[in-house]
Amino acid sequence: MERYYERLIRYLVIKLRDQEQARDIAQEAYAKVLENTINNKMVLEYPQAYLFRTALNLVTDLYRESAKRPTRSLEEVSPVEQSTFRTPVAHLYQQERALMVERALGELQDNCRQAFLLRKLEGLNHDQIAQQMNISKAMVEKHIVNAMKHCRIRVKEMEYSRADDDAPQRRFRRRNT
């Protein structure tokens, strides 16, 4: 199973966007897989799939835990605390990313955007949103999933286009040199 380590790290970095967190999750996944195979005396037919699924489950658990943690607005955080976790580059990146999400949300249909914002900003659960919007719980779930998917895709598209703004000029220069 050691031969899957680098591949697992790359996979987790894509999911988490954090090298250290990816390494922690990978280590925990390896420990769980080894523990399960030793305790249950099982031989894995597809060890890579089992390892990756275990790691993905740990990522899901991590997201669930972070969603449960109380959050504070930046106004509530003291300037000393802000400076310890924000570099100017990271702060600028977060601002640009927030603008991209805002633009992506602006492209959604009203019901889809409203359900998403009620969930993410107001913290309402699906039943409360369904009641407030006078739609079914299944429709609320569909709206939220669609909004998240749309935002994720649009933000990636916007990030890629910004990261490669001068690609046409580079291609043109290569042909002419």
pLDDT in tens, 131-150: 999 999 899 999 988 888 88
pLDDT given for residue 174 in this prediction: 47
pTM score of the predicted model: 0.44
* Nearest alpha-carbon partner for 91 in 105, 107, 79, 103: 79
Q: Please provide the average confidence, as pLDDT, over all residues in the chain.
A: 79
Mean pLDDT of 156-172: 58
Tens-digit pLDDT profile for residues 10-20: 889 888 888 88
Tokens of 6: 């680098």
| Contact between residue 133 and residue 113 where contact means Cβ atoms under 8 Å apart | no
